[in-house]
Amino acid sequence: MSDPKKSRVSMMLSGQLENISSTMTESNKKSTSRVRMRRQSFGFSGVGGIGRVAERSSMFAPEFKRPALIYLNTYQLEPLVKFHSPSVNKAAERILDELFGDHKYSQHESPKTALRISGELMKAVKAMGFNRYRIISVVTIAQKRAQSYNNAISFLWDHERDNYINTSRETPTAFVQVTLFVVYLD
């Protein structure tokens, strides 16, 4: 018949293409079953990560749709390093002595001092290595004008793992109250 290594162009030039096309039309007319006409589907379209190539592609390679990441619980119920409030209280006292020792109240400078105290306290507590704790720092600086100050905060928390420290300082013109909460993340 014909040599399979020849290209269509060379076959057309030699006149052999007419013979092949007539045999192909005869074979196409014979097979009209429903199974052959149906598009095959293997049922992987609903499975994440197994799908078609996305419509967009980069210059180098086609991009595939990736399945969404699912994070599972670690089932770790206790922290590796438990919160030790006396050491954190010492760090808070040291930071207040350094940054608030001779502070004079100013409505422009006191908020900056509160942010600096809060940031330094957060850095010091994070350096202590209490893992799996969320650290919340509340620093309040107020001017002394013969007034009273009450601070009440209530939370719903786990009394075995969650904790807080509270410390304060006074100068002739201002006072500061620092409250640091540590909440365990499960």
Q: Kindly report the CATH number assigned to the domain that includes residue 151.
A: 3.30.1140.40
Q: In the prediction, which pLDDT does 32 show? A: 54
Q: Are residues 180 and 89 in the same domain?
A: yes
Q: Are residues 18 and 54 in the same domain?
A: yes
Is residue 155 a part of any domain in this protein?
Answer: yes
Q: Beta partners for 5?
A: none
Domain limits for position 170:
85-184
Q: Are residues 101 and 55 in the same domain?
A: no
Name every residue whose Cβ is closer than 8 Å to that of residue 161 and which is 6 or more positions away in sequence.
78, 79, 83, 184
Is residue 60 a part of any domain in this protein?
Answer: yes
In the chain (186 residues long), the average pLDDT of successive 10-residue segments reads 60 54 51 52 52 55 74 80 93 94 91 95 93 92 89 86 93 93 88
pTM for the complete prediction?
0.58
Q: Are residues 171 and 121 in the same domain?
A: yes
Domain count, the chain: 2
List, in sequence order, every beta strand (DSSP E) within the chain.
53-57, 62-64, 133-143, 163-170, 174-184
Is residue 107 a part of any domain in this protein?
Answer: yes
Q: Are residues 96 and 180 in the same domain?
A: yes
Q: Are residues 43 and 118 in the same domain?
A: no
Is residue 77 a part of any domain in this protein?
Answer: no
Q: In the prediction, which pLDDT does 77 show? A: 80
State the greatest distance between any 2 C-alpha atoms of the chain, in Å, as a whole number. Answer: 112
Q: Are residues 38 and 102 in the same domain?
A: no
pLDDT digits 0-9 by tens, 121-165: 999 999 999 888 999 999 999 999 988 888 888 888 888 889 999
Q: Are residues 25 and 110 in the same domain?
A: no
**Both ends of the chain: CA-CA distance in Å?**
75
Q: Rounded to whole angstroms, how far apart are CA atoms 154 and 133?
A: 18
Is residue 178 a part of any domain in this protein?
Answer: yes
